[in-house]
Structure 1
Amino acid sequence: MSAPRRSVLALAVLSMLTEEPMHAYRMQQLIKERRKDDVVNVSQRNSVYQTIQRLVRDGLVAVASTERAERRPERTTYRITDAGRVTLADWLRAMLSTPAAEYPELPAALSFLPNLSPADAVEALTLRMTRQAERLAALDREIAEVARFLPRLFVIEAEYQRQVVDAELRYVRGLVDDLRAERISWPFRDGVPGGFEPAD
C-alpha cells in the first residue's frame, strides 16, 4: 500500500479531528472562523469531503457516527485514528523541515514579463503594490487582535505571512522604480516592446 498523499487540506482535517470528532461542514467553518483559510483552501466544500474520503480510505480517519435529522441529509461525523495521529506528526515534521517545490504565480509572471510593454508591467505591478500594502495592513490588524486574547503560538502563521508580504512589497517597489528609471533593458519584437527577438 502506498503512503498517504500529503496535502495542506488533509493536514488541516487531521488537525481539526485531534480536538474532537466532527463533520465536514464543522471543519470547514472552524478553519474559516480561525482564519486558517488564509493558508488552507476550503473555498470548495466538495474538496473537503473528497479529502476526508481519501483519509478514510487511507485509514487515517474513521466514521465516528452517522445521523439523519428529519428533512435533512445524512450527516457523518469523523474521528482521527491512531495512524492518523502518527501521520499528522510525520507530515508536520516533514513540512517544517524540508522546503517543498512550490510554484507561485508571481515568479512565473515575472519570468514572462517581456510579453508586456514596460508601461503595462509598471501599471500591473503598481496595482499589486497597492493590494499587498492593504494585505499587510490587514495582517497587522489580525496579529494585534489575536494577541489580545491568545498566545503568540496561535498567530505565527500570520507573522510569517506578514514577513513574506512585506519582503515581496519591498522587492516589487524596487522593481517598479528600476522599470520607471529604465534601469532594466527591454527586448523588442518588430520594434515594439513586449517580446524576445528571435535568435540568429
Structure 2
Amino acid sequence: MAKRRKVANPLALAVLAELTAEPMHPYEMGRRLKEHGKDRDIKYTRSSLYMVVEQLRKAGFVAERETVRDTQRPERTVYALTEDGRHELHDWMRQLVAEPQHEYPHFGVALSLLSVLPPVEAAELLGRRLETLDGQVEEVHGLLRTAKEQDVPWIFLIEEEYRLGRLETEQRFVTHLIESLKEPDHIRAWQEFFGSRT
C-alpha cells in the first residue's frame, strides 16, 4: 500500500530532485524542469509550482536560503533542500520505482465504456487515435536520435524510452482492437444487444 505523503503532488518530487543540484528560486526550478523535458511527464503551471514549493516549505522539506534583490526583477526567494527533504525524496523514489501503482488513465476509462459506441464509429475514432500515436512515436524517435547524436547519457533518456515503449504498445493494441471491432460477428452481436435497447 502506498505511503501517505505530506506533499503528494508529483511536481513536489520533481522540485526536490532539482534542488539536489543546488539551491534555487522557483522561477529557475520551472526553467530547468522545462529544459530537462520534465514538463512532458509532470503537469504544472507557474502558480502551481510556487504553491508546491510553499507546501514543501511548510512540511520542512525545503527551507529559504536567501532572498535575491535585483533592480530589474522582483525579489526572489532561493530555496534549499533540507535533510528531511532529501530523505523524503529518496524514500518516495524507492517506493515509486519498486511498487507498481494502479493509475486511472483516461483511455482506460474510454475502453471500459467503448461498447456504448457503434463498432464502426469506435473503429473510425480509434483510427484517428492511431494516426496521432504514429506521430507521437515518430516525435520520440526523433528526440532520441538527436539526443544520442549529442552524446546525452542514456540515463537522461529513460523516460523517453519508457514513453516510446508505452506508445508502441498502445499502437499494437489499438491496431488489433480496430480489427476486432470490424469483425462481422462482433458487429452482429453489438446490434443484437444494443438494438434491443433502443
- C-alpha separation between the residues in 2 aligned to 1:188 and 1:4? 52
Structure 2 match to 1:127: 128
Measure how far apart 1:150 and its partner are: 1.5
Equivalent residue of 2:140, what SS?
A: helix
- 5+ residue gaps, structure 2, are none
Structure 1 match to 2:36: 34
Distance 1:21 1:139, change over 3 A: same
Task: Give the letter for the 2:195 counterpart.
Answer: G
- Residues 110-142 of structure 1, C-alpha deviations (whole Å, 9 max, x = no match): 111122222221121111101111111111111
Identical residues among aligned pairs (%): 35
- Residues 1-44 of structure 1, C-alpha deviations (whole Å, 9 max, x = no match): x85233321110001011111111111111111112111112x1
Structure 1 match to 2:81: 80
Structure 2 match to 1:191: 195
Equivalent residue of 1:5, what SS?
A: coil
Structure 2 match to 1:107: 108
Q: Which stretch has the larger CA shift, 51-60 or 145-154?
A: 145-154
Equivalent residue of 1:164, what SS?
A: helix
Distance 1:186 1:30, change over 3 A: same
Distance 1:25 1:182, change over 3 A: farther
Q: What TM-score, normalized by structure 1, do the two folds share?
A: 0.88
Equivalent residue of 2:22, what SS?
A: coil
Distance 1:172 1:190, change over 3 A: closer
- C-alpha separation between the residues in 2 aligned to 1:143 and 1:31? 18
Which residue of 169, 179, 182 corresponds with 1:180?
Answer: 182
- C-alpha separation between the residues in 2 aligned to 1:85 and 1:61? 9
Q: Which stretch has the larger CA shift, 19-28 or 165-174?
A: 19-28
Measure how far apart 1:58 and its partner are: 0.5
Structure 2 match to 1:142: 143
1:52 and 2:53 are equivalent in the alignment: yes
Task: Give the letter for the 1:88 counterpart.
Answer: L
Measure how far apart 1:183 and its partner are: 4.7
Q: How does 1:150-161 map to 2 (within 5 A)?
A: 150-161=152-163
Structure 1 match to 2:167: 165
Question: What count of residue pairs does the alignment treat as equivalent?
Answer: 192
Distance 1:118 1:14, change over 3 A: same
